[in-house]
Chains A and B, each alone.
Chain A
Amino acid sequence: MAGSPGSDGRCMRLSARRRGPSVLGAFLLAQALVSVPAAAQDPCAPPSGDTGFAEVRVNLSAGTFDHVLPFDVPARVCGTVPAGTTSITVQYAVSKTANLSLDSSCRLLAPPGAALQPPAPIPGRLDGTTFRVILPPLEADRYYAFCFQRRAKVPDDVAAKFRAKARDVLDRGFAQVSSGTLTEEDSRKLRGELYRRLLDVTGAAVAIVDGTVFDASPGQDELRGKFRDLVQKILTPQIRRNRIVEGNPGQAIPPLSERQHDFDEALKALRAPELADLFTRLDKNAVDDSTLQAMLASQNLTAARALVRADDDQLLLAAQGRGPGEAATSLTDPDQAAVMANHYDDDAAALGALVNLIRKVADAPPSSTLRTGLREDEVASLRRQIDPKGPLVRAGNLAFTLNGLAQDLQTNLIDRAAALDALADKVQIEAAGVEVVDGSTTGNFATSQNNYISADAGLLYPPQLKTAVTYIGVNFYFRPVNKDANLAQLGSFFGTFSRRFAATIGLTVQSVADGGSGTLQTRQDLFGSQALILGGGLRVTNSFRAGAGAIIFKQKDRNPLVSQYSVAASYYFSLSFDLNVAKAFQGGLGKLFGGGS
């Protein structure tokens, strides 16, 4: 966004003057009174009196200035920043073309070759949430874009919010680590992701993370440094968990799913007819045997009877450590692992109770109610079920093993989660110590593009006319000039020549005509009682000018017999004060000279 090309530093002076004490009457007095409370509330309200700076206000959110940028004078830029800001700096890019462009991250997009300057950013002075920064004199006829970089500590509430994100990053990041050791590459990826999430949460463009867990620069690796033990506390249970769930061919460890499949196959052996017949026979015998009734009604034998009668789907659920209606177990959730462990524990107890029952039946005397009605071949068949390598024992062993593995899985998941929590806490603390850098850029602002015109009033002396007269004139500079700028500070005399030299056109205030009182008239004024002056001048100081040129008047023909006057010129020297027309006329006629509002 370009600034208004018709304005320059003069406009600001006019504004300041309007705000200051004035004799313009009650209106301005009332305006001044009304403006006091507003100024008191506005931390960037310009101070009264001459500060020596052009006061400019910047809105970092909008990326705008409230004035066209002044040139040739240092500017004091004031703005507000969010609470928590610890420092602010500014750099700018300058171009003669209007295509100057900075993106929101302070990267120069155009024109090619443009660079931010000065190389060392200009520090601002921070007072609470108000900052002021002094810009060096800018050049006229240029386009400027500014990059304000704000540093701020990460607020505690933001760091707390970040903790949850960090834990998520760590959880998913470590899950990708396949070994028990965090490699340099693994660590670099994790720290990079943590850094990106930190920027997301803080909304910053950059964070100063030197020496922290977010630092991914070469040779810096706190995940493998000061946080190594915590990282190991995550990876060790993770590896154990992975070995349980995924197995490890190198150790001949099958995956959990394979063990569950084996268990399912073993449970199907429970549907042997001799087991169903056993329960049928025992139920009959128990009618007259309360002790047997109580035994069969025990929790474990009730569960065993259910397994014997279960269909394929029910056995599959049991093999997977699930109860009826339970969803598939999440192998990353310790609570679900605990539920699974409980189911396997129940199965192991049920199968153990069934083995004990069969052993009692097989060992019981034929006259016992346990054996009544059972043939010897049926007893032998039952004995095969409880053989150390028989299907019932195998199913019981698998249930016991799966119970242990499920408990182990739960423990590992809890340990890993606790270590993740601890590391996330540390990362939160690190985040709270980080300074984030927030870049704010302005649009493309132009300094004055108009040449300067000023008024001139002084005394001129044309030696040939032998009379000194006052004059008023208008000076035309060939470049924009800021009258507030101290010429001495802008460089050498020759270096500031273009700011000093102006062409002058004017009229004398007094007549240069002669004659009268009995003397012969030899010249007349060019216009009525005024002569025209055309010349040039150099400002010796900001307002004092020395000049020379030609004074144009009418001269009588040298032939005394001819009474005609013709236009003539004579050189002159002048001393004058360079006045700002716009200032003198307070924006009225000043527009004629200043060319802007």
Chain B
Amino acid sequence: MAIQIRSHLTASPNPAALPHLIVFRQTLRSNMDGEAVVAVFQLAPDHEIWFKDTGGKPTKTIQRNLQVSQIDQVVLTRITLTKGPGTGPVTLVEIDQTITDSSGTNIPDSCELQID
């Protein structure tokens, strides 16, 4: 089935001093109740900002599995961002998100996080 982005991804707090647990929020809707979708968060490879995976390791890509209903649904995703190897200092980081629905269709979203 398919999904739509009803309101764009935002990050909170914003700006944030890293490392910090960032809450990503967006509103999604599916044309099928309980549709399982995959959200992949991605950072540019060269800069110093990284995600922290569940094991505490820095990574540039992190994945979350979500369930989306037929009515507008606010989805909150919590990910820790931290500083690591890479170019810097960075004052603004772009976080790209790719949502893949159950039929394999990808749709893009993104947000910016200001770094204190």
Contacts and interface: CB of A to CB of B under 8 A. Distances in A.
User: Are chains A and B native binding partners rather than an unrelated pairing?
Assistant: yes
B92 interface: yes
B94 interface: yes
Contact of A397 (B5, B31, B40, B92): B31
B92 A232 contact: yes
B106 A400 contact: no
* Chain A facing B: main interface SS: helix
A365 to B, nearest CB: 27
B8 interface: yes
B112 A401 contact: no
A407 B4 contact: yes
B53 interface: no
A79 to B, nearest CB: 51
Interface string A50-86: 0000000000000000000000000000000000000
Contact of B107 (A181, A236, A352, A404): A404
Nearest to B109: A240
Interface string A363-407: 000000000000000000000000011000110111011011101
B108 A400 contact: no
Given A352-B31, A397-B31, A401-B2, A180 B110 contact: yes
B40 to A, nearest CB: 8
Given A240-B8, A401-B105, A404-B4, A180 B31 contact: no
Interface string A216-240: 0000000000000000100010011
A396 to B, nearest CB: 7
Contact of A244 (B6, B40, B108): B108
A228 to B, nearest CB: 8
Contacts of A251: 40, 42, 96, 98, 106, 108
A232 B112 contact: yes
A239 B94 contact: yes
Contact of A253 (B3, B6, B92, B108): B108
B63 interface: no
A405 B6 CA distance: 10
B17 interface: no
Given A348-B31, A396-B31, A400-B31, A254 B8 contact: no
B108 A180 contact: no
A181 B110 contact: no
B12 interface: no
Nearest to B95: A180
A252 B103 CA distance: 14
A268 interface: no
A569 B2 CA distance: 126
Contacts of B74: none
A139 to B, nearest CB: 59
Contacts of A421: none
A404 B3 contact: yes
A525 interface: no
Contacts of B101: 397, 401
Contacts of A243: 108, 110
B1 interface: yes
A8 interface: no
B93 to A, nearest CB: 9
Contacts of B103: 389, 394, 397
Contacts of A570: none
Contacts of A403: 4
Nearest to B4: A404
Contacts of B105: 397-398, 401
A248 interface: yes
Nearest to A179: B94
B2 A398 contact: yes
Interface in B1-30: 1-6, 8, 29
A240 B109 CA distance: 7
Nearest to B94: A180
Nearest to A253: B108
Interface in A227-279: 232, 236, 239-240, 243-244, 248, 250-254
A239 B94 CA distance: 10
Q: Which 9 A-B pairs have the closest CB atoms?
A: A404-B4, A397-B2, A243-B108, A400-B2, A251-B98, A180-B94, A401-B2, A400-B31, A253-B108
6 contacts: A236-B112, A251-B108, A398-B2, A404-B29, A405-B4, A408-B4
Interface of A: 179-181, 232, 236, 239-240, 243-244, 248, 250-254, 348, 352, 388-389, 393-394, 396-398, 400-401, 403-405, 407-408, 411
Interface of B: 1-6, 8, 29, 31, 40, 42, 92, 94, 96, 98, 101, 103, 105-112
